Structure 1
Amino acid sequence: MNDTLFSQLVEASRELPGNRWSVGGNAPVMASRMAMEGCDVLLGGSFSSDLTEVLSQHITGQSIAHAPRPFSFDDHNPYLASMEDFAQKLQNFHPDLLVVGGLQMMDNFPFKEGEREALLGRLARVMSSVPQETGVHFEMASFVDEGLMGDLLSLVVPLADSLGMNEQELPNLLSLIKRGNVTVLSDPNPRVATVLDQMRELYRLVNERHRESGSPQNGRPLTRLHVHTLAFQAIIVTRGSQWKNTMSATAKASLTANRHVCGSPDINPSKAKLILDESFSVSRQEGSQRIPLQEDRPVSCWDEDDYQICVAPVLVCTEVFQTAGGGDNISAAGLVLQI
């Protein structure tokens, strides 16, 4: 929260050899990736004039702030200041998909009493305003404020039919639903079977909460869940839902992970490695099926209950160009092929 210190850090970074500027912020990063993949995007956020110069021509931006440069120090975005302008433009934009992200900016922010809940209530009304045929995706992030997590669980998650998160955010959300608190520790390199079991449980619990809420006006069932890890991508999609091309989307997410981190549109096998085992179990339950990795068909998909699961290994980049923004690029790339 110390803007002076942050400014000093930014100025000091200018002296580092090989430094460069890159688009930051969840919404601009996801919008840039979707534009790169051929989408027309309406972007809501508070941006500097520097940022608008590098945004794609396929992006229509709202609420442009004339700050001298973009900072991660931020006392503006927690108030969702661009939301009203965005909501007005949204009515005539008729999107196939509404993406909500960046709410971690509200984490431990010193709001006045009732202020945060009111802001999220307004966001919930925006999310509720889009037609049922429009997909709504909520991109999770790292949260430690259990009060904020509780508000998101009651006001935002029920209005999204798609959720995106990493291997640490998944057990966090699951723990909050099951036990009412956020996990302190999580495995940075979890087994596929562990993640799939957690995804199944989250899918089941979120949809149970939806059914118990009664009226469909109270929200949407969860029909898509994407978890991105360093070693693999996993997507669950409800059969018969509006989400399509799940196998291709899982592959796209995996390839985007390599391209973003290596900073290259080409996949160079000499600069990548597989850290996923040669086979994986679909569950930690004893006797569960093991699926081998096949070089000529690396994305594995199978049906369970009312959903399909797809898992793809990631060609982990070994010559890192950039890790920041990885999750947003991966999630956005996967979404593009499913709408």
Structure 2
Amino acid sequence: MAHWRGSACAGFLALAVGCVFLLEPELPGSVLRSLWSSLRLGPAPLPPGPLSPEGRLAAAWDALIVQPARRWRRVAVGVNACVDVVLSGVKLLQALGLSPGDGRDHPVLHSRRDLEEAFTHFMGKGAAAERFFSDKETFLDIAHIASEFPGAQHYVGGNAALIGQKFAADSDLKVLLCGPVGPKLHELLDDNVFVPPESLQEVDEFHLILEYLAGEEWGPFKAPHANRFIFSHDLSNGAMNMLEVFMSSLEEFQPDLVVLSGLHMMEGQSKELQRNRLLEVVTSISDIPTGIPVHLELASMTNRELMSSIVHQQVFPAVTSLGLNEQELLFLSQSASGPHASLSSWNGVPDIGMVSDILFWILKEHGRSKSRTSDLTRIHFHTLVYHILATVDGHWANQLAAVAAGARVAGTQACATETIDANRVSLRVPQEFMTSHSEAGSRIVLNPNKPVVEWHREGVSFHFTPVLVCKDPVRTVGLGDAISAEGLFYSEVYPGH
């Protein structure tokens, strides 16, 4: 009888401690384990659900990410597409017989040595970059070596194709992709992606993606973050050859969302071609019926004049939404004399208050207002450790879910997992930050249980969330495109906007 009572008592005590686990998940694990062991109930059980900040944040996201009331049905995406050949940058440079030199940026690559110096420059910073390789024969030679290299992988590439591929994962969505689609790319695309016959070509465009891991070394240089360096000799995408096919396909396809990318590919073109193409882009967008949002996805650029033209030649006012990362944001501000333009580069994690100031400036200077007829009302900013969605009030709904979904997909895609694995990701965002440096901003203290922070500034709403950064990323290419697509997927535009 005494033995039975002892067992029952232990059972009730175990139940009580279990309740403490459930009701006080933030209580330090050491306290709970101490309580358990003091009752001599054997080894402490694992708490129900992960107690780590990463686990709590992932669970909070899952609760916040809800479908919009009105979902997209048909999405048209254009105009850059290619095959990405992904491999180790250091191993390719070694295979090319190159040795470590001084890191130096080159806006355009003309030789193998230029490639080595530019790769080293960005690897040393742990920063992503994309460059045009001017010499066709040398590029084709490097591309052949890269493509045949042991371990080299072939993927869908190009912002438009990657965004289209991400949307196509939802079988309820119909996706149109216009871009230079060769046989290898066509084979790699999801069956749910429709490519008009005029977009098909006999030869693929190849982009070489040189990846490096956090801590990887090349000579005296050591990468602080995992990232990649991209280069190509891509004339079809560079001239935006598929723009007309894309625009002529829209009337028959009848999309309710249009996604445009590839403007950055024009950097290798003459100023005259750039100027004419941008005018054609603006004219084409203006022909899209009112009420159909147009999202512009930016990418790595070095040509300030081209970036300035994109901002000022009516491209920004013609589009409804923008997607960009920290390098593109600062380059945009430098090119158009925006806030914090004197900053030469970000020092580590981009300052959240500064980013917020630049996003606010873009929407105030180039976005929709009572005195301006611009269509621009939304910007999705993404960097390694956090995302911000900035929207002009009254035009977009479900942005809390959208920014959380964009951040969640960054963690799952980088780690190649279906859901966030709390053991494989880390929370690296500053624990507290200011929302502005241009004016008296608010001080925010991060709470993993409430991971989306919202603040407002003169008719602009900001939704901020950390990213759970994959500790050992499987693949970094296309993360920005997946993030923008996921954010758009969960976004809802109000009718008439």
Cα separation, 2, equivalents of 1:171 and 1:68: 33
44-53 or 5-14, which deviates more: 5-14
Contact 1:48 1:70 in 2 (8 A): no
Question: Is 1:330 matched up with 2:483?
Answer: yes
Question: Is 1:82 matched up with 2:215?
Answer: no
Q: Which residue of 2 aligns with 1:59?
A: 193
Q: Which amino acid aligns with 1:249?
A: A
Q: Which residue of 1 aligns with 2:391?
A: 237
Per-residue CA distance 1:192-240 (angstroms, 9 max, x = gap): 12211221122211138x777x6x4xxx332101110111000011221
Q: Which residue of 2 aligns with 1:191?
A: 351
TM-score between the two structures when normalised by the length of structure 1: 0.89
Measured after TM superposition, the shift of residue 159 of structure 1 is 0.5
Contact 2:185 2:204 in 1 (8 A): no
Q: Which residue of 1 aligns with 2:256?
A: 96
Measured after TM superposition, the shift of residue 34 of structure 1 is 1.4
Alignment of 1:280-295 (within 5 A): 280-284=433-437, 288-295=441-448
Cα separation, 1, equivalents of 2:342 and 2:481: 23
Q: Which residue of 2 aligns with 1:144?
A: 302
Contact 1:272 1:317 in 2 (8 A): yes
Q: Which residue of 2 aligns with 1:40?
A: 174
Cα separation, 2, equivalents of 1:317 and 1:178: 35
Kindly report structure 1 stretches of 4+ aligned residues shifted beyond 6 Å.
none
Per-residue CA distance 1:283-333 (angstroms, 9 max, x = gap): 236763222222222111233321221001000011111112121111111
Cα separation, 2, equivalents of 1:295 and 1:150: 38
Cα separation, 2, equivalents of 1:126 and 1:134: 13
Question: Is 1:308 matched up with 2:467?
Answer: no
Q: For the pair shown, which has the larger CA radius of gyration, 1 or 2?
A: 2
Per-residue CA distance 1:95-146 (angstroms, 9 max, x = gap): 2211111111101x243x6332222222212211112211111111222223
Per-residue CA distance 1:16-56 (angstroms, 9 max, x = gap): 44321111111101111111245322111111111111212
Contact 2:155 2:188 in 1 (8 A): no
Question: Is 1:227 matched up with 2:381?
Answer: yes
Going from structure 1 to structure 2, the CA distance change for 1:183 and 1:261 (only over 3 Å counts) comes to farther
Cα separation, 1, equivalents of 2:204 and 2:465: 41
Cα separation, 2, equivalents of 1:136 and 1:183: 31
**Which residues of structure 2 form unaligned runs of 5+?**
1-133, 208-231, 493-497
113-122 or 55-64, which deviates more: 113-122
Q: Which residue of 2 aligns with 1:114?
A: 272
Going from structure 1 to structure 2, the CA distance change for 1:199 and 1:312 (only over 3 Å counts) comes to same
Number of equivalences: 329
Measured after TM superposition, the shift of residue 262 of structure 1 is 1.5
Going from structure 1 to structure 2, the CA distance change for 1:310 and 1:61 (only over 3 Å counts) comes to same
Q: Which amino acid aligns with 2:183?
A: S
Q: Secondary structure at the match of 2:414?
A: helix
Q: Which residue of 1 aligns with 2:329?
A: 170
Going from structure 1 to structure 2, the CA distance change for 1:155 and 1:239 (only over 3 Å counts) comes to closer
Measured after TM superposition, the shift of residue 8 of structure 1 is 2.4
Q: Which residue of 2 aligns with 1:127?
A: 285
Q: Which amino acid aligns with 2:293?
A: G
Cα separation, 2, equivalents of 1:118 and 1:14: 35
Q: Secondary structure at the match of 2:187?
A: helix
- The alignment yields a C-alpha RMSD, in angstroms, of 2.4
